[in-house]
């Protein structure tokens, strides 16, 4: 039975207990959210991994995506990227490999980290079709289900499945005269090409009950993929994106009623004034399914800094009620991310998630503690509270070493002109309660 079904039967599983303990929430309350489909716990029984709760009432989680391309397929680098993602605080990992030994790379990554690992089975199915039949459009539809089943058996915790692409959404894309940014989802574009070439419906939509049956058997979370997400700001919240969202929200409820844990993905590139509306729509139309935000990227003109454009969108998304953030790295739109890009992306997304949780969950205790540590020049405490202590220690240490007059008590920003030193002792004696020095 799945976590959803067991919670619906009134059982508080050890996974629910663990997730609730880490979040500081009541286990019975979390079980109720899981039973209602408003929270999910990727806990495939075929693999022991870290327990992570995603959804209503919980801290906003961060996913780090790694994976090869057909241009760069370095298995050792992907394992290193996985290690870095885990080290710097990603909550989950997605292997999006499309080049090299896809299955072998996935197994190596899953053996290396304890994070729940997600995949897009469509990628491996199309890659196999190219290898065996010479073209992705020649893929037998049965291969999709074989790959999905095999990945579930390996212990994959959640899967992005592109079920919301169907003949209606493809026709809508044609009627609106395509898009400024084109179709940027690999899974989405390959599935549309397959449908157009074969004159067939998307098997993942047509046989959705089979998709649900496979994932439910292994308690793999169904993440309804955003194949028509916007790849340019001017394509955001267009008719085809919203039509796919409608379908995915309906399918989320259908899957949930069949006992499968589900969440919904969206929306890619989006201006900040449309973020809240997308979240409201997803939550209302899906019955509160967790919303997995891909980025979102908030401007198209910052290549090399898209981890920053996405952090802006992610912070707002989290504050408006998104539950799960997919990081973006500095190499987005430029090339395959390297290990250093993964670190930058994870940290930027974690900062954004925390900024959102400060509003959504009133989680400000760490910020309050940091303010006091800075006031009192308690450097070890500041480093302890930092999202990336290594970076903070490195920056301060490098600057302290550049001056013979460096004072470990202060920093080189102000030196002897330190504002806090100037007023030290004047007002602390007047502070009362929890703010007392």
What is the band of 429 on the pLDDT scale with cuts at 50, 70, 90?
low
Of 10-19, 86-95, 413-422, where does mean pLDDT reach its minimum? 413-422
Q: What is the 3-state secondary structure (H, E, C) of the chain?
A: CCHHHHHHCCCCCHHHHHHHHHHCCCHHHHHHHHHCCCEECCCCCCCCCCCCCEECCCCCEEEEEECCCCCCCCHHHHHHHHHHHHHCCCCEEEECCCCCCHHHHHHHHHHHCCCCEEECHHHHHHHHHHHHHCCHHHCCHHHHHHHHHHHHHHCCCEEEECCCCCHHHHHHHHHCCCCCCCCCCHHHHHHHHHHHHHCCCCHHHHCHHHHHHHHHHHCCEEEECCCCCECCHHHCCCHHHHHHHHHHHHHHHHHHHCCCCEEEEECEECCHHHHHHHHHHHHHHHCCCCEEEECCECCCCCCCCHHHHHHHHHHHHHHHCCCEEECCCCCCCCCCCCHHHHHHHHHHHHHHHHHHHHHHCCCCHHHHHHHHHHHCCCHHHHHHHCCCHHHHHHHHHHHHCCCCCCCCCCCCCCHHHCHHHHHCCCCHHHCCHHHCC
CATH of residue 144's domain is 3.20.20.540
pLDDT digits (tens, 9 = 90+) for 59-94: 999 999 999 999 999 999 999 999 999 999 999 999
Residues 178 and 278 in one domain: yes
Q: Supply the range of the domain harboring residue 409.
A: 365-435
Statement: residue 435 has pLDDT above 70: no
Of 360, 378, 410, the position where a domain reaches its end is: 360
Within-domain flag for 25: no
Is pLDDT above 50 for 312? yes
| Candidate from 17-31, 182-196, 396-410 with smallest mean pLDDT | 396-410
Contact 113/105 with Cβ under 8 angstroms? no
Residue 104 lies in a domain: yes
Please indicate, yes or no, whether residues 340 and 382 belong to a single structural domain of this protein: no
Please, what is the Cα angle at 10 between 7 and 12, to 5 degrees? 65
Judge whether 17 lies within some domain.
no
As to burial, measured by CB atoms within 10 angstroms (0-12 exposed, 13-18 middle, 19+ buried), residue 411 is middle
| pLDDT for residue 404 | 46
- Is 210's pLDDT higher than 60? yes
Instruction: Centre a 10 Å sphere on the Cβ of residue 334 and count the other Cβ atoms it contains.
Output: 12
Q: How confident is the model at residue 416 (pLDDT cuts 50, 70, 90)?
A: confident
Residue 121 and residue 50 share a domain? yes
> What's the structural domain count of the chain?
2
Whether 221 and 322 map to the same domain: the answer is: yes
Of 360, 378, 394, the residue at which a domain comes to its end is 360
Residues 378 and 328 occupy one common structural domain: no
pLDDT of 275 over the 60 cut? yes
Per-residue pLDDT, 152: 98
Residues 139-154: tens digit of each pLDDT: 999 999 999 999 999 9
Residue 403 and residue 293 in one domain: no
Residue 346 pLDDT greater than 90, yes or no: yes
The answer as to whether 15 is a domain residue is: no
Give the mean pLDDT of 286-294.
Answer: 97
Is 60 exceeded by the pLDDT of residue 406?
no
**Alpha-carbon distance 95 to 111, whole Å?**
13
Q: What angle do CA 319, 250, 2 make, to 5 degrees?
A: 80
- Tell whether 219 is covered by a domain: yes
Residues 301 and 421 in one domain: no
Chain-wide mean pLDDT for the chain? 95
Percent pLDDT > 90 in the chain is 89
| pLDDT above 80 (res 35) | yes
User: Does residue 1 lie within any of the structural domains?
Assistant: no
Among 360, 394, 414, where does a domain finish? 360
Q: What is the pLDDT of residues 211-223, one digit of tens each?
A: 999 999 999 999 9
Higher pLDDT, 142 or 425: 142
What is the pTM assigned to this prediction? 0.95
- Comparing 310 with 176, which gets the higher pLDDT? 310
Shared-domain flag, residues 134 and 190:
yes
Q: What is the mean pLDDT of residues 360-377?
A: 94
Confidence class of residue 418 from pLDDT cuts 50, 70 and 90?
confident
- Domain for residue 170, yes or no? yes
Residue 437's pLDDT is: 47
Residues 107 and 185 in one domain: yes
317 and 376 inside one domain: no
Reported as a pLDDT band with limits 50, 70 and 90, residue 294 is: very high
Residue 129 has pLDDT above 70, yes or no: yes
Average of pLDDT values for 40-46? 96
317-345 pLDDT, tens digit each: 999 999 999 999 999 999 999 999 999 99
Q: Does residue 140 lie in a domain region?
A: yes
Asked if 199 and 293 sit in the same domain, the reply is: yes
Q: What is the mean pLDDT of residues 271-299?
A: 97
**Are residues 425 and 330 both part of a single domain?**
no
Q: Is the pLDDT of residue 408 over 70?
A: no
């Amino acid at each position: 039975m799945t976590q959803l079904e067991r919670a619906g039967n009134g059982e508080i599983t050890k996974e629910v207990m663990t997730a609730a303990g880490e979040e500081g929430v009541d286990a019975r309350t979390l079980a109720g959210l899981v039973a209602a489909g408003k929270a999910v716990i990727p806990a495939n029984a075929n693999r022991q991994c870290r327990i992570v709760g995603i959804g209503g009432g919980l801290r906003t989680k961060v996913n780090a995506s790694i994976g090869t391309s057909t241009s760069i397929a370095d298995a050792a680098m992907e394992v290193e990227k996985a290690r870095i993602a885990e080290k710097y605080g990603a909550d989950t990992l997605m292997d999006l490999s499309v080049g090299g030994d896809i299955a072998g790379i996935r197994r190596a990554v899953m053996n290396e980290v304890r994070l729940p690992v997600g995949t897009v089975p469509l990628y491996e199915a199309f890659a196999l079709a190219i290898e065996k039949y010479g073209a992705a459009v020649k893929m037998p539809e049965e291969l999709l289900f074989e790959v999905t089943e095999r990945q579930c058996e390996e212990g994959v915790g959640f899967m992005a499945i592109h079920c919301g692409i169907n003949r209606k959404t493809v026709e809508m894309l044609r009627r609106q005269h395509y898009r400024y940014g084109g179709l940027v989802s690999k899974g989405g574009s390959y599935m549309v090409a397959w449908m157009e070439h074969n004159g067939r419906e998307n098997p993942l939509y047509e046989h959705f009950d089979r998709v649900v049956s496979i994932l439910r058997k292994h308690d793999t979370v169904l993440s309804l993929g955003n194949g028509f997400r916007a790849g340019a700001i001017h394509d955001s919240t267009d008719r085809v994106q919203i039509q796919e969202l409608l379908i995915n929200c309906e399918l989320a409820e259908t899957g949930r009623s069949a006992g499968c844990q589900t969440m919904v993905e969206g929306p890619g590139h989006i201006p900040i004034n449309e973020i809240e509306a997308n979240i409201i729509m997803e939550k209302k139309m899906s019955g509160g399914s967790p919303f997995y935000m891909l980025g979102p990227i908030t401007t198209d003109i910052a290549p090399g800094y898209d981890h920053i454009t996405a952090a802006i969108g992610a912070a707002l998304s989290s504050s408006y009620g998104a539950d799960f953030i997919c990081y973006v790295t500095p190499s987005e739109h430029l090339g395959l991310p390297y290990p250093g890009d993964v670190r930058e992306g994870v940290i930027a997304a974690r900062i954004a998630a925390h900024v959102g949780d400060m509003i959504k969950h009133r989680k400000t205790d760490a910020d309050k503690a940091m303010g006091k540590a800075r006031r009192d020049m308690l450097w070890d405490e500041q480093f302890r509270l930092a999202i990336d202590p290594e970076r903070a220690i490195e920056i301060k240490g490098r600057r302290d070493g550049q001056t013979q007059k460096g004072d470990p008590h202060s920093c080189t920003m102000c030196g002897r002109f330190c504002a806090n030193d100037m007023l030290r002792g004047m007002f602390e004696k007047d502070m009362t309660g929890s703010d007392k020095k």
